[in-house]
Amino acid sequence: MTARVGVVTFPGSLDDGDAARAVRIAGAEPVRLWHGDPHLHGVDAVVLPGGFSYGDYLRCGAIARFAPVMQTIVDAARGGLPVLGICNGFQILCEAHLLPGALTRNQHLHFRNRDQVLRVESTGTAWTNAFQPGQEVLIPVKNGEGCYVADTATLDQLEAEGRVVARYVGGNPNGSQRDIAAITNPAGNVVGIMPHPEHAVEALTGPSLDGLGFFTSVLKHLVGAPA
């Protein structure tokens, strides 16, 4: 049976279509989920896409965390549902307290859009098991509020528990503490990543095909998950 991966659309979402295409290219069935509908329609995993949900009012992701669909996603994620938050989706996961820390204004105060090398640090998550530890990948980054921050105790805990999923290599585009580009929750089913793997799944439009591994990983995870 083909896995069904939900992609949420919020008011202001920008990359939901790209995320759905990446899901399809990976071999799964994309299922479009609406922010105002609390039902997940039987999906096996969820992607929170990049963009500017609710216009980034208050703080990026601060309003989206209260969307009806997010109430259901939070409960499902705590029960083991794989959830990937990309860029604005990462911000939403932090606002919803599924991931620690916060994403703040880039230290240089400029929007940064470029192809970025990442080093995959953790391959034990639902979204990174297709990679090798230490593997370097090339994925676009585009953000104005992508600087990951947390208190020292939280950063040390992430490091000690192997929950830093990816780091920036060859220059930090936003000033994120400890060059953090992606993190995971203790269970490894929830991952937030600031760069955009959905923009690196096709030779025609991406700088590489390296982003595809995030989407094939969840399919591999679902095959091995208990029924």
Active site residues per annotation: 87, 196, 198
Q: Distance (Å, rounded) from C-alpha 164 to C-alpha 166?
A: 6
Q: For the purposes of burial, counting CB atoms within 10 Å of the CB of 105, is it exposed (0-12), middle (13-18) or buried (19 or more)?
A: middle
Residue 136 in tokens:
């370097």
Whether 137 contacts 211, CB under 8 Å: yes
DSSP bridge pairs for 13? 51
145-151-153-158 Cα dihedral, nearest 10 degrees: 0
User: Smallest Cα–Cα separation from 146: which of 195, 99, 83?
Assistant: 195
* Cα four-point dihedral sign 71, 77, 82, 84: positive
* Cα four-point dihedral sign 153, 126, 70, 177: positive
User: Smallest Cα–Cα separation from 38: which of 3, 62, 80, 74?
Assistant: 74
List Cβ neighbours of 165 (8 Å cut-off, separation of 6 or more). Answer: 120, 121, 122, 125, 127, 128, 181, 182, 183, 184, 191, 193
